[in-house]
A and B are shown apart, each in its own frame.
Chain A
Amino acid sequence: MAKSIDEYLRTQFMPHIWCPGCGHGIVLNALLRAVARLDLPKDQVCVVSGIGCASRAPGYLDFNTLHTTHGRAIAFATGIKLANPDLHVIVVTGDGDGAAIGGNHLIHAARRNMGVTTVMFNNSIYGMTNGQYSPLTPSGMFAATAPYGNVERNFDMCELVRASGANYVARATVAQARQLSTYIERAIENPGFAFVEAVGSCPTYFGRRNKLGSSLQMLETLKKNSVTAAAAAKLDPAELRGKIIIGEFYRGDAPGYIELYDGVIERAKEAAGK
């Protein structure tokens, strides 16, 4: 039987800082259940984050935890993984942290197929700074810095990361918490760079400003708007407007940077011995 996730919490710091009904707690819960099912030793898990609401997660987790600078978690994680490949390195990031300021590190870690699992807590907004629009705020939505509606288009993170070369790419919303947890579990197990976009909700800033109702109503909306990849393939663009495509988009086994670099070490030693 899987361990209780309580074991992974630094319970002395609970309750956490997230607002009532915040989807981040559901994502973190899914992540911890994945770790529990994999029965990873706590000493061998390293959780790295940047700055923002999602990035406060590591402080509550009884692993090796690193709360870094804004957007840079994946770059820090890269150094950790290279220095100690035995560690399960998991990056927790938000949509502002990971898709805006940290977007470059994300695509390059995917390109390198670096052995890091990244879980992006997408709440469509900068929550920590009171609700400015992010690269994942859907067009037309309102934000503290988009008082007339967001004219920018939002990224499809899964397409971006897949195109960049990641070995595992999946998306679920917090309305599919079990599925989300399974994806995170597979992401951790999959060698190379793995990415899971967890679409959640920020009832405080995104929800209020866009009149999306309570956290519960936002959950219902997420559920209603979710379309599986298979179903989405049969819909035309107009029907897909406002929908969230969920599913596993890619599972590959291309060699990761860590193992390829082992080859570099071998060749270098051989060259030095000559």
Chain B
Amino acid sequence: MISAGSPEAPVLVRREWCKGCGICIAMCPKKVLEAAPDGKAVVARPDDCTRCETCEIMCPDFAVRVVAKRAAAPAGRREAVADGR
């Protein structure tokens, strides 16, 4: 059920879950993703992926996964926060 640009692709898109909203495509800072003719996301430029995970975090459908994560964060480290305090 998982499709990707290549077997080594750092980003996977589950086509069955993707509803083609285009958020991941627009939010990717490196334009790794593109829309297929049906609007669903496909991995077009896997080599450009910096594994920032924005696509995965912003996907409303749980359809995008960054499979090769960056090195593990140190224990207790939070996600980046700018909470204005």
Q: Are A178 and B84 in contact (CB under 8 A)?
A: no
Q: Which residue of B lies closest to A4 (CB)?
A: B65
With A228-B84, A230-B85, A248-B85 known to touch, is A14 a contact of B57 (CB < 8 Å)?
A: no
Q: Are B60 and A1 in contact (CB under 8 A)?
A: no
Does B36 sit at the interface, judged by CB under 8 A? no
Q: Which of A6, A33, A178, A181 has the most CB of B within 10 A?
A: A178
**CB-CB contacts of A229-261 with B at 8 A, as 1s and 0s?**
111000000000000001110000000000000
Q: Are B79 and A247 in contact (CB under 8 A)?
A: no
Chain A residues whose CB sits within 8 angstroms of the CB of B73 once the complex forms: 1-2
* Dominant secondary structure at the B interface: loop
Does B47 sit at the interface, judged by CB under 8 A? no
Q: Are A215 and B23 in contact (CB under 8 A)?
A: yes
A23–B63 alpha-carbon span in the complex (Å):
14
* Dominant secondary structure at the A interface: helix
Q: How many residues in B have their beta carbons less than 8 Å from beta carbons of A? A: 30
Does B61 sit at the interface, judged by CB under 8 A? yes
With A15-B19, A21-B23 known to touch, is A26 a contact of B60 (CB < 8 Å)?
A: yes
Does A18 sit at the interface, judged by CB under 8 A? yes
How near does chain A come to B9, taking the closest CB pair, in angstroms?
A: 17
A247–B20 alpha-carbon span in the complex (Å):
31
A27–B79 alpha-carbon span in the complex (Å):
15
Total contacts A-B at CB 8 Å? 105
**CB-CB contacts of A14-58 with B at 8 A, as 1s and 0s?**
111011111111100110010001000000000000000000000
Does B69 sit at the interface, judged by CB under 8 A? yes
Chain B residues whose CB sits within 8 angstroms of the CB of A181 once the complex forms: 57, 79
Q: Are B79 and A216 in contact (CB under 8 A)?
A: no
Chain A residues whose CB sits within 8 angstroms of the CB of B72 once the complex forms: 1
Chain A residues whose CB sits within 8 angstroms of the CB of B23 once the complex forms: 21, 215-216, 219
Does B59 sit at the interface, judged by CB under 8 A? yes
Does A179 sit at the interface, judged by CB under 8 A? yes
A65–B79 alpha-carbon span in the complex (Å):
27
Q: Can you list 14 A-B contacts with CB-CB less than 8 angstroms, sorted by A residue number?
A: A6-B62, A14-B14, A15-B61, A24-B60, A25-B62, A33-B57, A37-B78, A37-B79, A178-B80, A179-B81, A182-B78, A214-B22, A216-B21, A246-B83
Q: Please report A residues at the B interface, Cβ cutoff 8 Å.
A: 1-2, 4-6, 9, 14-16, 18-26, 29-30, 33, 37, 170, 174, 177-179, 181-183, 185, 214-216, 219, 228-231, 246-248
Q: Shortest 4 CB-CB distances between A and B: which pairs?
A: A228-B84, A25-B60, A21-B21, A20-B19
